[in-house]
Amino acid sequence: MTTTLYTPDRDEFAALLEGEPRYRLDQVWAGLYTQLAAPEQISNVPKALRERLASELPTALTQVVRRVSDGGDTVKYLWELHDGSRVETVLMLYPDRVTVCVSSQAGCAMACGFCATGQAGFTRHLTVGEIVEQVVVAARDARQMDRRLANVVFMGMGEPMANEAAVWSAVERFHGAIGLSARHLTISTVGLVPGIHKLTERPLPVNLAVSLHAANDTLRDELVPINKRYPLDALMDACAQYLAAKGRRLSFEWALIADVNDRASDAKELARLCRRFRLPAHVNLIPLNPTPGYPTVGSPPARVQEFRDLLVSLGVNATVRRNRGTDIDAACGQLAAGQPVTLRTRPA
């Protein structure tokens, strides 16, 4: 594994700086994670050390494409890694908050048919350095736009709970070094039960999002194949334990697919599931984004609204998520680095 600039944690960095005065570690750490500077730019550190750091600790991400949409409010980055694999990151600027959506793996092994990353298959896990760098770059970009990045969601490419150790080290870095609150960090999982248990034991109370999409095992087996290994009962138990341990917000992601999981019976089934497990979950509804390998379309807006209203009338908290970055293939489930880069014009 290559060591890159954002790989070492604070103790490992201390070891790298052996022989330097003790305050050097604070200077370099603050330079990297508070000022968000490149080593060459950490001006209170001697030039020779800056040069040494820059040459011994190369960055992990080479920018292939940086594309902006939604009037400048969505930025998608396509990165190339040392081995040629490619991953994507999406920065989203809202009036009241700035959020970055990061990738945890190159590709994904979960094979959800409606997801572009799932269609492309698995390449490898990302390292902690590769995950952290995505956030540092986005935070730096946000700062240049006079905004402060405060939220990280693991909703880019990959299944974070299949790469739990690296994801957790990254979470600790976001919290301890960059200073992001655990309340503002969200890990989204397809429902890997052992990963949720592991997360329950971890100290920081991050938000858990579960990509549910179906509230019965027959349909969920089809949409989210890993459900065959970890069916809904086991998944809901794991979620309940997480909630009990953390008192944090739990959300369910539900991509609305026309005539597949958007009927009144689906909403009722979901409400029953939440009731049965006493899960005060918040449901995020999003009409399915089109991807090349899945013929079915997303639910039309009226159906989305009906589905939401029905859930709410059944006592389930639900909101419709606005679709960001559709025109630059940066919307949920559209991240697929293997795809040729297509330049599109924005719809009028």
Q: Which are the catalytic amino acids? A: 88, 332
The tokens for 339 are 């795809």
Q: How many residues bind ligand SAH (CB under 6 A)?
A: 17
**Residue showing tokens 């390449």:** 123
- Residues 100 and 91 sit within 8 Å (Cβ to Cβ): yes
Minimum distance between the CB of residue 81 and ligand SAH, rounded to whole angstroms? 18
Q: Judged by CB, which is closer to ligand SAH: 8, or 156?
A: 156
Helix (H) / strand (E) containing 132 = helix 128-144
**Amino acid code (one letter) for 26:** D
Q: Which residues contact residue 172 at a Cβ distance below 8 angstroms, ignoring those fewer than 6 apart?
A: 9, 204
**Amino acid code (one letter) for 53:** L
For strands 74-80 and 62-69, give the pairing.
antiparallel
Query: Is there binding between residue 288 and ligand SAH (CB under 6 A)?
Result: yes
- Binding piece for ligand SAH, criterion CB under 6 A, among 74-82, 165-173, 267-275, 288-296: 288-296
Minimum distance between the CB of residue 253 and ligand SAH, rounded to whole angstroms? 3
Q: Closest residue to ligand SAH, Cβ-based? A: 333
Query: Is there binding between residue 155 and ligand SAH (CB under 6 A)?
Result: yes
The tokens for 37 are 């500077």
Count Cβ neighbours within 10 Å for each residue of 282-318 and write b for 16 or more, e otherwise: ebbbbbbbbbeebeeebbeeebbebbbebbeeeebeb
Among 70, 133, 159, 329, binds ligand SAH (CB under 6 A): 159
Query: Is there binding between residue 77 and ligand SAH (CB under 6 A)?
Result: no
Among 36, 128, 238, 255, binds ligand SAH (CB under 6 A): 255
Q: Judged by CB, which is closer to ligand SAH: 31, or 195?
A: 195
Query: Is there binding between residue 333 and ligand SAH (CB under 6 A)?
Result: yes
Could you write out the DSSP letters of every residue in 309-325? HHHHHTT-EEEEPP--S
Minimum distance between the CB of residue 188 and ligand SAH, rounded to whole angstroms? 4
Residue whose C-alpha is closest to residue 330's, from 89, 150, 100: 89
Sign of dihedral through CA atoms 336, 337, 343, 347? positive
Q: Which residues contact residue 15 at a Cβ distance below 8 angstroms, ignoring those fewer than 6 apart?
A: 8
Q: Judged by CB, which is closer to ligand SAH: 33, or 294?
A: 294
Among 53, 115, 138, 283, binds ligand SAH (CB under 6 A): 115
Q: Judged by CB, which is closer to ligand SAH: 25, or 111?
A: 111
Query: Is there binding between residue 253 and ligand SAH (CB under 6 A)?
Result: yes
Among 132, 286, 304, 328, binds ligand SAH (CB under 6 A): 286
Query: Is there binding between residue 285 and ligand SAH (CB under 6 A)?
Result: no
For strands 185-189 and 122-125, give the pairing.
unpaired
- Binding piece for ligand SAH, criterion CB under 6 A, among 22-30, 85-93, 188-196, 197-205: 188-196
- Residues 189 and 161 sit within 8 Å (Cβ to Cβ): yes
What x/- string results for residues 196 through 215 when contact with ligand SAH is judged by CB under 6 A? ---------------x----
Minimum distance between the CB of residue 155 and ligand SAH, rounded to whole angstroms? 4
Distance between CA atoms of residues 69 and 78, nearest Å: 14
The tokens for 189 are 């999982």
Query: Is there binding between residue 332 and ligand SAH (CB under 6 A)?
Result: yes
The site for ligand SAH (CB under 6 A) is made up of: 112, 114-115, 155, 159, 188-190, 211, 253, 255, 286, 288-289, 291, 332-333
